[in-house]
């Protein structure tokens, strides 16, 4: 465990994708909401975004089908926008299926309310917080040796020291565990 809850990007992606495929085989409003939440989570993980950014992205691409779109980065005052990309496994039919429930949820609860609902559901269902998906993505890119500057651009971090902190802390922990001091 640690700042990223120890989530492995690839394992978590496979888990969420498997659960999405299971949800597709079920009917009813509960299964439809589950599909929506899983599409949002897969998108968040795939892009290293915050959950609110993933909701905004899915809302945009479900209105005018597209595989990518710009979203405003949360927690930045400069209105910076970043590109987000739909996971390849999510098809137009998936977006069309959840579009109505997404619009209804946004109208009923607003984006902040949806963030809270999804965050609670994820914690209850999987035992981790949604922000851990962002960290798993950052760790994954760092392990693949992408420069922190590129990771920061992808994730919308304004300050490079956040990326350096995340990636160096993880690398230091892994090195300490691997050292044979006896």
Of 33, 35, 46, 50, which residue is the catalytic one? 50
Of 126, 135, 140, 166, which one is the catalytic site residue? 166
The CB density around residue 55, as the number of other CB atoms within 10 Å, is 25
**What is the rounded (10 degree) CA torsion for 115, 73, 6, 21?**
60
166 among known catalytic residues = yes
Catalytic residue among 99, 111, 117, 131: 131
Q: Check 26, 75, 76, 108 and give the catalytic one.
A: 75
Residue 67: closest CA among 45, 99, 95: 95
* Catalytic residue from among 34, 35, 157, 170: 157
Q: Which residues pair with 81 in a beta bridge?
A: 72
Residue 67 bears catalytic tag: no
Q: Pick the catalytic residue from 33, 134, 135, 170.
A: 134
Report the alpha-carbon distance of residue 19 to residue 51 in Å, rounded.
Answer: 18
157 is catalytic: yes
Active site residue 165: no
Q: Is 75 a catalytic residue?
A: yes
As annotated, the active-site residues are 50, 75, 131, 134, 157, 166
């Amino acid at each position: 465990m640690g700042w990223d809850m120890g989530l492995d990007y690839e394992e978590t992606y496979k888990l969420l994708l498997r659960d999405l495929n299971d949800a597709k085989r079920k009917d009813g409003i509960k299964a439809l909401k589950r599909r929506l939440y899983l599409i949002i989570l897969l998108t968040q993980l795939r892009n290293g975004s915050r959950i609110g950014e993933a909701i905004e992205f899915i809302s945009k691409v479900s209105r005018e089908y597209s595989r990518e779109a710009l979203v405003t980065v949360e927690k930045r005052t400069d209105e910076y926008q970043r590109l987000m990309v739909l996971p390849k496994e999510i098809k137009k039919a998936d977006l069309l299926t959840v579009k109505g429930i997404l619009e209804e949820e946004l109208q009923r609860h607003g984006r902040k309310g949806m963030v809270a609902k999804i965050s609670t559901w994820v914690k209850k269902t999987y035992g981790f917080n949604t922000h851990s998906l962002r960290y798993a993505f950052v760790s994954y890119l760092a392990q693949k040796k992408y420069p922190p500057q590129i990771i920061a651009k992808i994730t919308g971090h304004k300050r490079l020291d956040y990326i350096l902190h995340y990636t160096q802390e993880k690398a230091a922990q892994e090195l300490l565990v691997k050292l044979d001091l006896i």
